[in-house]
Amino acid sequence: MTLYARYIVIHNIKLEDGRAIHYFYLAPELNLLMKYSQIFLYLVLFLSIGAKAQVSADCSNAVPICNDTPVNGGTMGFGVDDFGGAATSGCLEVTLSGSIESNSAWYRFRTGASGQLGFNIGIDTTEDWDFALYMANDCNNLGEPVRCNFFDNQDENRFIGVGEDPSGESMNVQYEDWLQVSPGEEYYLLINNFSNSNSGFSIQFSGQIFVTNPYDALDCSIISNLLGPPVSACEGSAVILDATTSNATTYNWFVDQGSGFTQIVGSHNETLQALSAGQYRVEVVRPSGNIISEVQVAFSPMPIAHSVADDFSCSGEGEYDLAQKDIEVLGSQAASEYIVSYYGSLIDANSGINFLSKQFMPEPGTQTIFVRLTSVNNPKCYDTSQSFQLINLDTPVINFPIEEFLCQSSSVTIGDTSPNLNYSYSWDTGDTTPSIEVSQAGSYSVTVTHTQSGFSCSTTQVITVLVSLPLNIMDIEIDDLKNNNTVTVITESPERFEYQLDGGAFQKGNRFYGVEPGAHRITVNDLIGCGAVSEDIVVVGFPRFFTPNGDGSNDFWNITGIDNLVSPTILIYDRFGKLLAQLGQGSSGWDGTLNGKPLPETDYWFKLTYTNDNGQTNVAKYVNNHFALKR
C-alpha cells in the first residue's frame, strides 16, 4: 500500500542559532485509514517519525545528509520544476508528468576527505527509480549531472547507484562509475520514482573513503544542530546525545516515539544515552534564554550470520554461484532486509571492500571465502563471523584416444594407460581398472572421477572401437622423366597412413617429389598399428609413340632411365601377346619391324624386367606399358 499524505504546520520553536524548527503531523485523512488496522497504525507512526526532514521534493529544500544520517524515504510527487521546463538533464528525460521529475526526492551532502566515494540506493525490485548527481552548491546552477542513470529496472535489481552493487550483481546496468572526490565538494542528489509504485528507498554511502576516513568522509557540519545530525545506529550500541552548552543551568530531555513528546523522568544532564529509536528533544535552560534542539535516532537490527557449509566446484565448469550460499547465511532472516556479500579476506569483509562477484571464478585448490551480512538500512550493522572453504577440484581431463582400431584377429587396449593415482574409473562393462582390453568392435563408456574431502568431479567419455580394414596399396601413379619426377601412392584412407620412400623418414603426405630414375621401394605404414606393406617400383621414361619412316627423327622406340637397373630387359608384344622384340641394356631401340618386315601402325605393349638386390627377376609394376607406332 502506498500512503499519500498532506502535512500541516502546527507550531514553530526557535533554535539556538535563531532558525525555526517546524513540526509536521499527518493530515486528518489519516484517521479514516487508521481504523482498519493496528499494524497499519504502527507503520504510519513509524513513517511519521522518519519522514521529518527525510524527503524534500525541491532542490532548494534538499535534505542535508552525512555519515550517520538515516535515510529511508519515499516520494510523493514533485514541487516546483527544478529544471525550468527543460526536456533533459544528463540522462534524465521528461516523464509522464510533463517534467523531468515525477516523484522526486532531493538530498545534498559535502565531502570531508579525499578518495573513492559511491552510494547505494536500495529499492523494491518491482519498481523503477532513476537518479542524477550534481556537483554544485547552488540549485540555480546545477549544470549537467556528474553521474546519471535512467535505465528501467526490468532486471529487478535491489540497488541502483554509484560504485558497485553491494549484492554482487556485477552486470547491474543501473550503476555508474565511482566518484573520486576531494574535501569540501558539495553535491545535490535527485532520486526520482518513475513507476509511481512507491515503496520508498534507502541510501547507504560506500567506497574506500570510508575505510581511510570512517568518521569524516562526509562533512556533518552541513547539518547545523546542537544535537548534531540524525543518528543511525545498530541495536545494542550506545548512542550518547550531547547538548553541552555554556551557562546552562539544567537540561530537560524528551522523546517522541509516535505519540508525541514526553519528558524523560530524571534526565537533566548535558548528555543522554538513547536506548531506543525515536525523535529526541533537549531543552537547555539558560538565564539568557532557553534553547530547544532535536535529533532523530534510529536503530537497525544487528545481523546474525549463520554458519556456512564448505562446498566445492569442478574445474572447467566455469563460474561458481556464490548466491546459492545466501540462504545458509541468512537463516530465517528476511533477504529483503540484509545484503549477503563474499570476500577473499577478513580485512576486506570487515571493510566492506573488494567483494567477490556472485558469479565467482574459483582459483585452483582450496580458498577461504569470508562472509559479510549487512543491514540494508544501515551498512554499519554487519556480521563477518562466518567463512567457508571452497574447494576447486580438478575435473579429470581425458587425454587418451577416444577412437581405437582392431586389427585383424587381434584385441586392443582402450582407456588410460598412464592413470592418475587420485582418480577412480568405472566402465559400462563393469570394470574398474584405468584401461581394459577388448576384442569386439563397438562403443565403450568410462567415467573418471576425482574425489577429495568427500567431494567428487567426474568426466564421462565414450570410446569407439572400429575394425581396421586390411592395408592395401590400390595404385601408384608415376609421373616419369619430367624435370621433377613425382610418385603418388593411392590408398583407401590416405589420412590413416604414413608413407616412406627407400627407407627414408615417414611422411604424412602420399606424394613424393623429385624422385630419381631407377628402382625404388615404397612403404606404407598403418598409423593405428595394423602393420605396413611395401611395393617396388621403377621410375623410367619412354616415348608415347615413334615414327620409323627413315627420316632420322624418332625412328626407334626405347626406354630411358634404366641405367641404374641391373640386367634390365624390355619385351615388346602386339595386342595378342605375341613377342615381337627383346631389348637389352645398351640397345639402340626397336625399329618397328619383325624379322625385317615393317609392322602396321597400331598400339604395342611392353614389359620391363630387372634383377633386384636379392638376385631375383622382378617385373616393373605401375609402368604405363603401351605406346603407338605411327607411319
Domain boundaries, the chain: 53-222, 311-393, 403-467, 473-539, 545-629
Query: How confident is the model at residue 68, as a pLDDT?
Result: 56
Predicted local confidence at residue 419, as pLDDT? 93
Mapped onto helix, strand or coil, the DSSP state of residue 32 is: helix
Q: Predicted confidence band at 69 (pLDDT cuts at 50, 70, 90)?
A: low
Burial class (CB in 10 A: 0-12, 13-18, 19+), 501: middle
Segment 599-610 shows an average pLDDT of: 94
User: To the nearest whole percent, how much of the chain has pLDDT over 90?
Assistant: 57
Q: Top-level CATH class of 545-629?
A: mainly beta
Phi, psi of 45 (to 5 degrees): -65, -40
Q: Are 620 and 583 in contact (CB under 8 A)?
A: no
Cα gap 153→159, rounded to integer Å: 10
Give the pLDDT of residue 221: 84
pLDDT at position 73 is 64
Q: What is the amino acid identity at position 39?
A: I
Which pairs with CB-CB distance under 8 Å and at least 24 residues apart come from 271-276? 271/240, 271/241, 271/242, 271/243, 271/244, 272/240, 272/241, 272/243, 273/238, 273/239, 273/240, 273/241, 274/231, 274/239, 274/240, 274/241
Q: Is residue 245 within 8 Å of 270, Cβ to Cβ?
A: yes
Tell me the per-residue pLDDT of 111-137, one tens digit each, with 9 for 90 and over: 999 999 999 998 999 999 999 999 999
Q: Between residues 220 and 138, which one has the greater pLDDT? A: 138
Q: Are 78 and 97 in contact (CB under 8 A)?
A: yes
What does the alpha-carbon distance between residue 320 and residue 358 come to, in Å, rounded to a whole number? Answer: 8
Q: Which amino acid does the sequence have at 535?
A: E
pLDDT digits (tens, 9 = 90+) for 241-284: 999 999 999 999 999 998 999 999 999 999 999 999 999 999 99
The values of phi and psi at residue 32, to 5°, are -70, -30
The torsion of the CA quartet 313, 317, 320, 321, rounded to 10 degrees, works out to: -120
Which pLDDT score is estimated for 484?
81
- Check residues 286 and 45 and name the one with the higher pLDDT: 286
User: Residue 445 above 80 pLDDT?
Assistant: yes
pLDDT at residue 14 tops 80: no
CA torsion 84-86-90-96 (nearest 10°) is 100
Average pLDDT over residues 515-528: 89
The mean of the pLDDT values for the chain is 85
CA angle 161, 167, 168 (to 5 degrees): 95
Let me know: does 526 contact 553? Beta carbons within 8 Å.
Answer: no
Q: Please determine, for residue 499, whether its predicted confidence score (pLDDT) is greater than 80.
A: yes
* Vertex 550: Cα angle to 548 and 554 (nearest 5): 50
Please write the tens of the pLDDT for every residue from 323-380: 999 999 999 999 988 999 999 999 999 988 888 988 899 988 899 999 999 998 788 8
Q: How far apart are CA 24 and CA 10, in angstroms?
A: 7
- pLDDT tens readout for residues 155-209: 999 999 999 998 878 889 999 999 999 999 999 999 999 876 788 888 888 899 9
**Whole-number pLDDT of residue 72:** 60
- pLDDT attached to residue 67: 64
Q: Which residue has the higher pLDDT, 21 or 534?
A: 534
Q: What is the mean pLDDT of residues 531-556?
A: 90
Closest CA to 296 of 70, 47, 16, 598: 70
475-485: pLDDT as tens digits: 888 887 767 88
CA dist 150 and 597 (Å) reads: 107
pLDDT digits (tens, 9 = 90+) for 282-327: 999 999 899 999 998 988 889 999 999 999 999 888 889 999 999 9
Handedness of CA 96, 98, 100, 106 (dihedral sign): negative
Residue 191: count other Cβ atoms within 10 Å of its Cβ. 24
Q: 414: Cβ–Cβ under 8 A, 6 or more apart, which residues?
A: 400, 401, 404, 435, 436, 437, 438, 444, 463, 465
- Between the alpha carbon of residue 383 and those of residues 287, 568, 626, the distances in Å are 48, 98, 97
Asked if 486 and 471 count as a contact pair (C-beta separation under 8 A), the reply is: no
Query: pLDDT tens digit string along 575-588?
Result: 999 999 999 988 99
Q: What does CATH list as the number for 473-539? A: 2.60.40.10
Instruction: Give the pLDDT score at 317.
Output: 82
10-49 burial, b at 16+ Cβ within 10 Å, e below that, comes to eeebebbeeeebebeebeeebeeeeeeeeeeeeebbebbb
Stretch (H or E) spanning 210: helix 209-212
CA–CA dist 325, 88 (Å, integer): 43
* Topology alike, domains 53-222 and 473-539: no
As assigned by CATH, the class of the 53-222 domain is mainly beta
pLDDT 10s digits, 211-224: 899 888 999 888 88
Over residues 489-510, the mean pLDDT reads 91
Q: What would you report as the CA-atom Rg of the chain, rounded to the nearest whole angstrom?
A: 47
**What confidence score (pLDDT) does residue 446 get?**
97
Give φ, ψ of 417 to 5 degrees: -90, -10
